[in-house]
């Protein structure tokens, strides 16, 4: 908006004020969590229920809403079956894990959003990938609005990819970025991060809802029109959502979330949404001094002390996307010295721990009401699947009875409120993975008679357990 204040003092002494506005704007109040807009400010978003997320931004008005008659040639319509279609050519990278998460490699013109906590390794991962693609002859451009080119060079040298011909630029104006992209026509572009990019057409500050939305739309249009693969790095809010409205997630083809705990080495890249492959797939990587590396034996990565029978630990196979990970569940049960016993759970929802304790007491006869119970999943993983229920119960019983579980034994099943043990999805795959890793026995549901998965278990012995009350008899 351009404002000119011309001040002329006339004979009558009246101030003359001329205001020229080349663009009119109006205030809109937008929820930064879900993107809903309101005509006035409110403390709580009525759409998503979040508090204190509604912020003002000014958006231009005056765009004609009436559609004039369309004079250009109408767009061409094609039949699905008649389309010869080169199948989307995939660009692969040095990590087969990442290719799998992307659905078999990067697709031309695809726009991916990579979100994650600060310092988790987003810039590191994309710099490594870009170096690989650049060395393989792809035209790459790394646009940074956060770090200087010197910082990126230093990081690249530390990662051992300092010699890769990656083009770099520090820029935050989307108009300047688009001019550069039109001139260079790169194959793959990284924008680090989308919250630092702004368009000069809007007045609001970089990082605001309207700026993120508008800048993404402009970059997306370029990527689709030119077949450029585009990675946008996005910061996440305290709650873990990608900062900016949800609408950003709807606009892009792929949403990747970079997870992990900075105190642990492992990192998980998860496809939350993918238009070019299955969603829910994960890539397991580990952060080292020289950047991110693939984990060789991913399913065993979270098993630490398997060969020592330890009181209070149980083993369970979980699914992350199509991948099976075998994890170690740890429980510590102690007589409580206070009126209200403590229940502390990490890696699972604390309510699940309370629920399993209640089932163990009601249907298993284990009186844990005057005991503190602590629970943890080794390695810092978080699991929301019900398949570890039986393992949780076994770990608690082991600590409560001060007896280690049988060696080479795993537990797999969901625990119902009636104390019954239920099968979970992909039983066959999970049992085969346990067998491949050298486990000999697995406790499963009692209803195996007609189950296909129980017929071929690769030498793994199934121990059936119908009710939680039978668990103590089979695990020690
Ligand atoms: P970075 O990629 O800057 O995180 P983000 O872009 O997600 O904010 O990662 C920085 C962290 O990664 C930092 O804490 C140091 C660590 N790191 C390593 O452990 N090894 C390495 O080789 C590099 C480059 C970084
Ligand atoms: Mg970064």
Q: What is the pLDDT of residues 361-419, one digit of tens each?
A: 999 998 999 999 999 998 888 999 999 999 999 999 999 999 999 989 999 999 999 99
CA proximity to 255, closest of 274, 269, 240, 236: 274
Flag whether pLDDT at 15 surpasses 50.
Answer: no
**pLDDT value at position 404?**
95
Over the stretch 67-77, which tens digit does the pLDDT of each residue have? 567 777 888 88
- Dist. CA 135–CA 189, nearest whole Å: 15
User: In terms of Cα–Cα distance, which of 239, 324, 240, 236 is closest to 281?
Assistant: 324
Q: Whose CA is nearest to atom 21 of ligand 1?
A: 291
Residue scoring higher pLDDT (363 or 303): 363
d(CA 380, CA 266): 9
Find the mean pLDDT for residues 147-176: 94
Average pLDDT over residues 428-443: 92
What are the CA-CA distances from residue 262 to residues 47, 269, 302, 407 (Å)?
Answer: 33, 14, 16, 32
What would the mean pLDDT of 156-169 be, rounded to a whole number? 94
- CB of 85 sitting under 6 A from ligand 1: no
Q: Is 290 in the pocket of ligand 1 (CB under 6 A)?
A: yes
Q: Tell me how far apart the alpha carbons of residues 194 and 236 are, in angstroms, rounded to a whole number.
A: 11
Whether residue 6 is predicted with pLDDT greater than 60 in this model: the reply is: no
Please, which pLDDT band fits residue 472 given cuts at 50, 70 and 90? very high
Distance from Cα 394 to the centre of ligand 2, integer Å: 42
Distance 142 CA to ligand 2 centre (A): 12
Q: What is the pLDDT of residue 203?
A: 79
Q: Is the CB of 115 under 6 A from ligand 1?
A: no
Task: Specify the pTM.
Answer: 0.80
Q: Could you give the CA distance from residue 375 to residue 371 in angstroms, rounded to a whole number? A: 13
């Amino acid at each position: 908006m351009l404002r000119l204040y011309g001040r002329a003092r006339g004979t009558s002494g009246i101030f003359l004020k001329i205001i020229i506005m080349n663009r009119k704007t109006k205030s809109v109040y937008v929820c930064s969590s879900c993107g809903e807009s309101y005509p006035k400010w409110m403390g709580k978003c009525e759409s998503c229920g979040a508090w204190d997320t509604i912020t003002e931004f000014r958006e231009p008005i005056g765009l004609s809403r009436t559609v004039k008659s369309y004079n250009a040639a109408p767009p061409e319509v094609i039949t699905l079956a008649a389309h010869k279609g080169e199948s989307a050519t995939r660009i692969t990278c040095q990590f087969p894990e990442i290719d799998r998460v992307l659905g078999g490699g990067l697709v031309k013109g695809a726009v991916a959003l990579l979100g994650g906590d600060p310092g988790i390794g987003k810039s590191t991962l994309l710099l490594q990938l870009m170096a690989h693609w650049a060395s393989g002859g792809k035209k790459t451009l790394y646009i940074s609005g956060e770090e200087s080119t010197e910082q990126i060079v230093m990081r690249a040298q530390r990662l051992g990819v300092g010699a890769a011909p990656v083009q770099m630029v520090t820029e935050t104006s989307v108009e300047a970025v688009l001019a550069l992209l039109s001139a260079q026509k790169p194959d793959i572009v990284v924008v680090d991060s989308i919250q630092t990019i702004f368009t000069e057409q809007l007045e609001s500050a970089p990082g605001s809802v309207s700026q993120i939305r508008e800048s993404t739309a402009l970059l997306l249009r370029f990527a689709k029109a030119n077949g450029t693969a585009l990675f946008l790095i996005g910061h996440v809010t305290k709650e873990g959502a990608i900062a900016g409205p949800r609408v950003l997630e709807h606009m892009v083809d792929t949403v990747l979330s970079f997870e992990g705990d900075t105190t642990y080495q492992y990192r998980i890249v998860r496809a939350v949404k993918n238009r070019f492959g299955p969603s829910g797939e994960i890539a397991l990587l580990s952060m080292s001094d020289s950047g991110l590396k693939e984990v060789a034996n991913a399913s065993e990565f979270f098993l630490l002390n398997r060969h020592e029978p330890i009181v209070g630990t149980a083993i369970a196979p979980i699914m992350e996307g199509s991948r099976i990970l075998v994890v170690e569940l740890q429980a510590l049960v102690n007589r409580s010295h206070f009126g209200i016993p403590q229940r502390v759970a990490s890696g699972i929802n604390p309510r699940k721990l309370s629920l399993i304790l209640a089932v163990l007491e009601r249907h298993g006869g284990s009186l844990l009401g005057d005991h503190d119970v602590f629970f943890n999943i080794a390695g810092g993983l978080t699991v929301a699947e019900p398949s570890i229920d039986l393992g949780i119960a076994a770990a608690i019983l082991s600590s409560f009875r001060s007896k280690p579980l049988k060696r080479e034994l795993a537990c797999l099943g969901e625990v119902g409120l009636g104390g019954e043990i239920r099968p979970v999805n992909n039983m066959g795959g999970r049992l085969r993975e346990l067998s491949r890793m050298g486990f000999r026995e697995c406790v499963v549901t009692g209803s195996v008679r007609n189950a296909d998965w129980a017929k071929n278990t690769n030498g793994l012995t199934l121990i059936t357990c119908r009710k939680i009350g039978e668990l103590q008899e089979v695990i020690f």
